[in-house]
Copies of this chain bind each other. A is one copy, B any other.
Amino acid sequence: MSTRASVFIATSLDGFIARPDGNIDWLNDANAVVPSGEDCGYNEFMSSVDILVMGRNTFELALTFDAWPYEGKRVVVLSSRPLIVPAGLPNTVSASSESPDVLVKRLSAEGAQRLYVDGGITIQRFLAAGLIDDITLTLIPVILGQGRSLFGPIKNDIPLVHVTTKSFEFGFVQIKYRVAHDA
Contact = CB atoms under 8 A, between A and B. Distances in A.
Given A15-B14, A173-B175, A160 B145 contact: no
A143 interface: yes
Given A13-B160, A15-B14, A160-B13, A145 B153 contact: yes
A154 to B, nearest CB: 3
A47 interface: no
A153 to B, nearest CB: 5
Contacts of A175: 139, 167, 173
Interface string A111-154: 00000000000000001000000010101011111100011111
A172 B160 CA distance: 10
Contact of A157 (B26, B154, B172, B177): B26
Interface of A: 13-15, 26, 127, 135, 137, 139, 141-146, 150-162, 164-165, 167, 171-173, 175, 177
30 contacts: A13-B137, A13-B151, A14-B15, A15-B15, A15-B151, A127-B143, A139-B175, A141-B159, A141-B162, A141-B177, A142-B157, A142-B159, A142-B160, A143-B151, A143-B154, A143-B157, A144-B157, A145-B151, A145-B152, A145-B153, A145-B154, A145-B155, A145-B156, A145-B157, A146-B153, A161-B171, A164-B167, A165-B167, A165-B173, A167-B175
